[in-house]
Structures are given as structure tokens and as C-alpha cells.
Amino acid sequence: MHAQHCPPAASRSAFRTFCVSGLGTALEFYDFIIYGTAAALVFPQVFFPQMDHLTATLVAFSAFGAGFFARPLGGLVFGHFGDRIGRQKVLVATLLLMGLSTFLIGCLPSHASIGVAAPILLVLLRLVQGFAAGGEWGGAALFGIESAPPGRRGLWGSFTSMGIGVGGILGAAVFAIVSAAFNDNLVDFAWRIPFWLGGTLVLIGLYARLKAPAPVAVPVAKPVRAPLAEALRQRPRQLLLCTGIAFGYCTIAYIGSTFFLTYATQVGYGSTQALMFDLTLSIAIVVSAPLFGYLSDRLGRRTVMVFGAVVMALGLFAFFHLVGMKSFGIALFAYSLTGLLMGATQGPIPAFLGEQFPRSMRYSGISASYQLGAALGGGTASSIATAILILTDHNPLGVALYGAMALALVAVCSLMLRETSRLSMAEIDESPSVAGGPAIPCSARTMPNR
């Protein structure tokens, strides 16, 4: 390999990169969060009124999970084209699909109007949302880390994680405002407003992505015709371990973003209070994700990921105890602390997973592994947690154990992946095509990405 294959990162401001990788993701995950919120608070009555409330909530979460199983397909399709034709065009397509499906969900008639056709249409639109989200996260994450200056990939990659938190803030804030304005009566009409707003807000992210200059293309000696097939051949171990991290992380992330809402209302908090808790959780993630992304640049990805998994697992047991005390102030503190701890894994994940693959197969590798893990973990997390709560007569200890096991998987898989924080992108791109083997620097002349 020659030195020209190790070019410096593209010159780009952090704010501009955040607008593409963070703000676009925020608007996409706003759509995702409001669906989860509606599934917890509204959809049982609107689409499944013939069931008792907790069982209807379980079915609504199952419909929510259906979208996760479209995510691996979206990751495969958009990952392939992202590696073949570029990141930016794919990110525009995912945003358009998400916005349209979100707006149409807000237009759906209820079960009382059209019967069983209503939940069927809901699930179909949820599948479209999931398909679009399957290509969103990987592309947005790569835009950040491939644009980052030396020694800042963890920080700039965390813009995507911040975007997820910003999307949570927007979703929770809009639902809280609407809930308060309609005196907690979301069922009749008010629940539609956040979906309509989400469909129009996507235009902001679309403008940012169309106006942003694409990252400087890095020459690839041999273009890959089937990037995912090449990743399966060359990096099967990395794909498996990255899937394990995504499984564990998404399990706890979606317990936090959807099940926690149900648990708060079951304990006795009002829907507006529960939405305020969710808002606090998202704000804490926005603050902590870039902090831990930055620390992963300084201390190493594995160190921060393992630390985050361990402290979050311990924090889960304290969380349910504190929320169960039925004090609004104490519960607010519990949600804030949990959000801060969640950022310890959420911040470094984009850079850590993306750095396991060379550029020619990076979009396919990160999307396939992350979205498969998200489908298996995040897609079932809320349903499993709710089922555990039912089976244990509303004892949250079982849910805490479930979350702790998922986080243990994050820690183990992180330890088994190579440490990448001190490698330059050129060294990662030039590492040999051996399954599971450590990267070999392109040469001693290449400075570490520190």
C-alpha cells in the first residue's frame, strides 16, 4: 500500500457534521420514539380495545417490535448501496421513507372505524419505518467518524448517539405538551399531532443532508461488488461480536425508551409525569454520550464500553427501587442517573463498531451487525420486559436481571473485539483480510489517530 491511501480526514466543522449525522438521526428517531410512546400510552385503546390494558400493551409492543425485524433488511439494502454509491444518497432516501410513513400513521383510522384493518395498516407502516431505520443509523454514524479529525472519531461518532437522545427529547417533549394541553386525553385525537409534526420535521433533516458536502472519497484498490458477502468472508468474527454488542445495547436502550414509560404508569404516575421522566432520560443521554465518546478517544473504546455496561447493570436494580418509591422527585433523579449511565455505552458504539471494518465494506458491516442485534434485542425488549412484569406479579427484579444479562453480553463482546482508538482510518482500511485477526498498521510512518 502507498501513502496516498492514508489521507487526512476531510476538513469539516463539528456543527455541520452534527447537522448531517446527528440532526437527521434525531428527526428519524423522533419518529421512532413517538411510536414507542404511543404504543405504551395510546395504541392499546385505539387499535386493540377488545383486550385488557396490560395485555393490549403487550400486543402494541409486539407491533412496535415488528418494525425491528424489517431493520436487518433495510440494513442489508441500504448498506450495500451505501458502500457502492456513497453514504449521502442513501441517507436522503432513509429520511424520506421515515417521514412519509410517520405522517401516514397519524392519519390511520382507529379500530372502532375500520376494525381489524386498522392494526394491520399500523403494522405495515411500522415495517416501512423499520426498513428505513435499518439504513439510517449506520450511514449517519459513518458520516461522523469518516469526517472526524485525528483523535476525535469517538467524539464525532457520538453525534449519532446524541441525535438519538435529541430525537427522544423532541418526542417526549411534544407528547408531554400535547398530553398536558389535552388533559391527558390522548386517545381521541391528540395522539395524531406528534406523528403529523414528525412527518413535516423530516424536511429540516432533508435540507441539512442535501446541502452538506459529502465526505472525501477514499480510493479503494479493488471495488467490492457484494460488500456484505465480503464482510462475511473476511470478518465473520467481527460481525458476530458487533451483533452481540448491538443486541445487548439495544435491549437496554429500548427498555429505557419504551418499557420505562409503561412501568411508571403501572406504578401510579400520570402519563404527563411519565413523559417528563422520558424527557429527562433523553437529556441526560445527550449530555453523557459525547463525554464518553471523547473518553473513548483518550482511554480506549473497550475500557469505556465495559465500564458503561457494568455500572449500567448495577444501576438498573437501583432504578426500579427508586421509581417504586412513588416520589416524583426521586423518580426524576433515577431517570437522570440512568440516562447518564446509558451514555457510557451509547457514546462510543458508533466509532467502535465502524472501526471493525475497512471502508469498502464498512456501511454493510456496521448496518448488518447493528440492525440484526437491534431486531433480536431491541425488537423484543419491551415485550419481554412487560411479559416478565406480568409473570412476576409486577415485581421489577426480573426485568432488572434481564437487562443486566444483556449488558453482560455487551461487556464480553467488547473485550473480545480489537482496540481501535489508536489506529488511523488508513490503518483500519489497510488491515489484512483475515477473519478475526488484529489489524496491522500500514507502516510505521503512519501516525496513530490520537
CB 359 within 8 A of CB 218: yes
Highest average pLDDT, of 277-281, 395-399, 425-429, comes from 395-399
pLDDT, residue 207, reads: 78
Nearest to 11 by CA among 159, 154, 215, 293: 215
Residue 219 Cα distances to 106, 123, 138, 360, angstroms: 44, 42, 20, 9
- 280-302 average pLDDT score: 93
Confidence at 415, pLDDT banded by 50, 70, 90:
very high
Confidence at 2, pLDDT banded by 50, 70, 90:
very low
Nearest to 135 by CA among 228, 197, 233: 228
Can you say whether the dihedral through the CA atoms of 366, 80, 257, 57 is positive or negative?
A: negative
Which residues are within 8 A (CB) of 55 and not within 5 positions of it... i.e. 6 or more apart? none
CB 344 within 8 A of CB 312: yes
Residue 97 Cα distances to 5, 113, 449, angstroms: 35, 26, 36
Least confident stretch, 13-22, 87-96, 154-163: 13-22
Task: Give the pTM.
Answer: 0.80
User: Which position has the higher pLDDT, 5 or 221?
Assistant: 221
> What cell was used for 1?
500500500
Nearest to 160 by CA among 69, 290, 280, 33: 290
Confidence at 38, pLDDT banded by 50, 70, 90:
confident
Highest average pLDDT, of 31-35, 291-295, 370-374, comes from 291-295
Highest average pLDDT, of 10-19, 159-168, 323-332, comes from 323-332
Confidence at 7, pLDDT banded by 50, 70, 90:
very low
pLDDT in tens, 78-124: 888 888 877 778 888 888 888 888 889 999 998 888 988 888 888 88
- 289-301 average pLDDT score: 95
Confidence at 436, pLDDT banded by 50, 70, 90:
very low
- Read off the amino acid at residue 106: G
Domains of the chain: which residue ranges?
14-214+235-423
pLDDT in tens, 225-247: 788 888 898 899 999 999 999 99
pLDDT in tens, 48-83: 777 777 777 777 777 777 777 888 898 888 888 888
CA distance 267 to 88: 45
- 415-437 average pLDDT score: 76
Cβ-count burial 303-325 (b if 16+ within 10 Å, e if not): bbbbbbbbebbebbeebbebbbe
Nearest to 25 by CA among 107, 136, 101: 136
- 132-136 average pLDDT score: 84
CA distance 168 to 450: 32
pLDDT, residue 411, reads: 96
Least confident stretch, 44-48, 164-168, 219-223, 304-308: 219-223
Average pLDDT, the chain: 82
Q: Hey, which CATH number is domain 14-214+235-423, 3.30.2290.10, 1.20.1250.20, 3.40.50.1820, 3.50.50.60? A: 1.20.1250.20
417 DSSP assignment: S
User: Which position has the higher pLDDT, 194 or 271?
Assistant: 194
